[in-house]
Amino acid sequence: MEMKKRALVSVSDKAGIVDFCKGLVKYGFEIISTGGTAKALKDAGLKVIGISEITGFPECLDGRVKTLHPNVHAGLLAMRSNPEHMAQLEKLNINTIDIVCVNLYPFKATLQKGADFAECVENIDIGGPTMIRAAAKNYQDVAVIVDPKDYDKVLNELANGGVSLELKKYLQYKVFAHTAVYDSLISNYLAAQLGISFPDEVTFAYEKAQDMRYGENPQQQAVFYKEQFPRKGSLSSAKQLWGKELSYNNINDANGALELLKEFGTTPAVVACKHANPCGVGTGTTIHEAYLRAYESDPVSVFGGILAINGTVDEDTATEINKIFIEIVMAPSFTKGALEILKQKKNIRLLQIDNISAKRESTAFDMKKVYGGLLVQQYDESLIKGENMSLFNTKADVEVSVLPSGKQKTVYGVGVVTERAPTKEETEALLFNWKVVKHTKSNAIVIGKQGKTTGIGMGQTNRIWAAQQAIAHAGDEAKGSVMASDAFFPFPDCVEECVKAGITAIIQPGGSIQDKASVDACNAAGIAMVFVGDRHFKH
């Protein structure tokens, strides 16, 4: 039998499909199609062979079975260079299929609209993935298209005599990338339905958001991928209003600022970040006041930094921001006047992020890639153990025991561990600093007062250096400030530095075998200390 040039076309996304099929017909192809695609092509005046004419079997089970048939798959999988394959097709009266154009049931769109479980399952494609995988396996003989952006590539090569092996191999790759993402969306959805947080095997689906000029350094290539479903209040949902594209470091640093900003809810807050660490944080009754406090926290480090703001940027705030060089300003909104002011700066980037204060979704996980593996954990959502805010005026339980050596061991619970409890003002400042230190790279110490940080020490290999760094940054502002430490004090040396600097209260997790030495040092100096139980390492 003479083999006819045939293309099988079945798409859920019908954009461009009529013009593509007209092009195929122009180059001598017969069109085989199914269901709604066949109707769309016929309505456009194209001659279409129904899939049932090929299979000799009607579409059934509400369309669940239509292409799952040897007359289809033998036509896809037969190797033209294999005489036995071609002889079998001749004997079975099966024609080859040379082009497959399929995109799959819209499972992602079904999830996005919040469909119930039954509808989501019904939108799991079976025949489509089977066809395109079969065609891709036989790539040397079949061109398979899953992306409308490739229609013109195929038609251009057909105009020059046929689809090249190079393009066929590229299309083969796109098939398996496409089905991998499709299957990952399904498996992750089903895992979520079952409450499985850490499956034995896992895949994640991302799509390219942006090619970058380079990575952390100019010699490194980089790309930004975003999740298939952008999270509320995330960088992947941002709308850029002004400025050149974000760099790798911009995105990494901006994410750090956003994470901290979310701790303040709707309280007017401004976070200034540098190298993914906060360098100044302020809250106030207005965004303008919060910005001034954040700026005053560290006027040197904020230069060239990133601002995350949880309210509308007005003209007064924009004027202050424009006094220095800022890389990025992120906010839920900007007044028209503020935009005009900020756009006077050529190199600033302005990002509008709706729901900027939105808390992270419970299905989100913190992931760090290591060479040869992936670390996955829940996000650190807690602030204080059990969210027990009464511990600031509650004496901690104390248990004293005698070790075999004869020495006493003192273990403290959560709450006030010193003779003096913090004042109302100190409590507010402690909570403020605790939010900031949670998002500062370990070892971390944050000191501050009156709704602003006064000194931040981060990323040190021992805690005393972090404390000394924070105090040195604060200068005279250290006096009357309070201190937060992301983990316990292994020695009383940090307290001794607090005494010299005039710091009045300390918040820390507690849990060191040397806790009593730090508590005693605080009592001797009249410093209030609160243990909160939860630590906040950030590496």
Q: Which of 527, 514, 517 is nearest to 483 (CA)?
A: 527
Q: Where are the beta strands (DSSP E) in 332-431?
A: 349-352, 365-370, 373-378, 398-402, 408-412, 415-416
Contact 418, 504 (CB under 8 A): no
Q: Residue 472 has which token pair? A: 């040195």
**Distance in angstroms (rounded) separating the CA atoms of residues 263 and 281:** 12
Q: Which of 288, 284, 229, 263 is nearest to 107 (CA)?
A: 229
Contact 157, 138 (CB under 8 A): no
Q: Residue 332 has which token pair? A: 């839920």
3-class state of residue 143 by DSSP: strand
Q: Residue 127 has which token pair? A: 């025949």
Selected catalytic residue, list 85, 153, 275, 343: 275
**Distance in angstroms (rounded) separating the CA atoms of residues 505 and 420:** 9
**Distance in angstroms (rounded) separating the CA atoms of residues 64 and 61:** 5
Residues 6+ apart with CB under 8 A from 102: 8, 9, 10, 11, 128, 131, 132, 144, 145, 146
CB atoms inside a 10 Å sphere around CB 152: 13
3-class state of residue 75 by DSSP: helix
Q: Residue 348 has which token pair? A: 């600033």
Cis status of the peptide bond prior to 443, with omega within 30 of 0? yes
Q: Where are the beta strands (DSSP E) in 176-325?
A: 206-212, 222-227, 239-242, 269-274, 277-283, 305-309
Half-sphere exposure of 46 (CA within 13 A, CB side): 26
Instruction: Give the single-character DSSP code of 334.
Output: B
CB atoms inside a 10 Å sphere around CB 194: 8
288 is catalytic: no
**Distance in angstroms (rounded) separating the CA atoms of residues 271 and 432:** 12
**Distance in angstroms (rounded) separating the CA atoms of residues 443 and 361:** 27
137 is catalytic: yes
User: Known catalytic residues?
Assistant: 137, 275
